[in-house]
């Protein structure tokens, strides 16, 4: 967990929403200078902070509408801090919760050097990263469609299809297996969506790879030289990591990728683990996918896995 510890004269905490934001500005002595609700937009924000611009730091929680505020602060040359949503939830819990209280607590955490930071992803690669994350949503939809057709087949006790529907060539005649017109239409809808999904995903993947090459073609090509890392996984790694130098230690990077279990201990006694959802879920998916492909297509992989199983057990291996 990284905290923002730099000192300023004014500290601004914002509870941000899509159309409104509650803004609180604290003096370094703790006095509340501004504390009000206002429309979410550049002009109201700049007008409210105008008297305190000389030495002001701005903080907002890491939720979906933070992009425009981060970009605005960058253009106006103001320090911007992105608060880690899960860590902040643990720190500033209280009996009552509303926008007014949250904005003041954010400003207070910022002033006290206790605000946990999230990474402010650069605007130049942000759109590529979000596009790849949308591809994951499309992939899950495709998996649901591929599972629904065999389930429908089993629901009406029809003979097994006997071929993988992921291949387009194997889909001919699948809908006609159902005698009921309504059931047949259900399968036809699934097949039509699968066909369109393949077209959309192919377009998304092509756009993502082309854009990633413009950002850092050298790193992209080097990552594909690693067994198990293919075209999409390498682009995901590039977009989610961005700059490996932002991780001071290997342990920080592994933790960010959700690849460690954090122990809960008290008085020398261990009481389970925690933090399973803290970290980058997309990065964990990329590493899991690479590990599976490494074992499937690299002859050295199964041998190495067997050696790890002997030393650490099957689960850790």
pLDDT tens, residue by residue, 132-187: 999 999 999 999 999 999 999 999 988 888 889 999 898 998 999 888 999 999 99
Nearest alpha-carbon partner for 78 in 45, 111, 38 = 45
- Kind and range of the H or E element at 304? helix 300-312
Which residues pair with residue 82 across a beta bridge?
60, 118
DSSP track, 6-23 = ---SEEEEEEE-SSEEEE
Q: What is the pLDDT of residue 100?
A: 92
The angle formed by the CA atoms of residues 275, 277 and 279, to the nearest 5 degrees, is: 90
User: What does the mean pLDDT of the chain come to?
Assistant: 90
d(CA 21, CA 63): 13
pLDDT at residue 92 tops 70: no
Check: pTM over 0.85? Answer yes or no: no
**Taking the CB of residue 97, how many other CB atoms lie within 10 A of it?**
11
CATH class held by domain 3-118: alpha beta
CB 79 within 8 A of CB 12: no
pLDDT in tens, 1-56: 789 999 999 999 999 999 999 999 999 999 999 999 999 999 999 999 999 998 99
**Taking the CB of residue 12, how many other CB atoms lie within 10 A of it?**
29
Q: What is the pLDDT of residue 266?
A: 83
Structure tokens at 297: 């297509």
Q: Where are the domains of the chain?
A: 3-118, 123-225, 240-312
d(CA 70, CA 122): 9
């Amino acid at each position: 967990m990284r905290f923002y510890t730099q000192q300023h004269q004014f500290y601004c905490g914002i509870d941000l929403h899509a159309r409104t934001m509650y803004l609180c500005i604290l003096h370094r002595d703790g006095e509340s200078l501004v504390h009000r609700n206002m429309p979410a937009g550049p002009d109201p924000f700049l007008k409210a902070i105008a008297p305190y611009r000389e030495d002001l730091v701005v903080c907002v929680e890491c939720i979906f509408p933070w992009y425009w505020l981060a970009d605005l602060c960058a253009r106006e040359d103001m320090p911007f801090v992105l608060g880690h949503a899960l860590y902040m939830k643990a720190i500033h819990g209280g009996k009552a919760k509303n926008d007014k209280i949250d904005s003041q607590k954010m400003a207070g955490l910022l002033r006290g050097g206790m605000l946990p930071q999230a990474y402010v992803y650069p605007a130049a690669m942000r759109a590529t990263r979000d596009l790849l994350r949308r591809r994951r949503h499309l992939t899950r939809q495709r998996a649901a469609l591929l599972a629904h057709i065999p389930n429908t087949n089993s629901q009406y006790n029809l003979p097994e299809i006997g071929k993988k529907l992921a291949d387009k060539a194997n889909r001919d005649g699948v809908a006609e297996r159902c005698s009921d017109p309504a059931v047949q239409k259900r399968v036809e809808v699934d097949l039509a969506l699968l066909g369109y999904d393949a077209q959309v995903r192919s377009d998304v993947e092509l756009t993502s790879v082309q854009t990633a090459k413009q950002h850092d073609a050298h790193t992209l090509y080097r990552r594909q030289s690693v067994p198990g890392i293919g075209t999409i996984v390498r682009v995901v790694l590039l977009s989610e990591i961005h700059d490996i130098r932002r991780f001071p230690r290997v342990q920080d990077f592994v933790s960010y990728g959700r690849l460690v279990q954090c122990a809960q201990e008290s008085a020398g006694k261990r009481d389970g683990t925690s933090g399973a959802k803290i970290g980058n879920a997309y990065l964990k998916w990329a590493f899991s996918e690479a590990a599976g492909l490494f074992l499937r297509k690299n002859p050295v992989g199964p041998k190495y896995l067997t050696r790890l199983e002997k030393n650490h057990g099957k689960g850790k291996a």
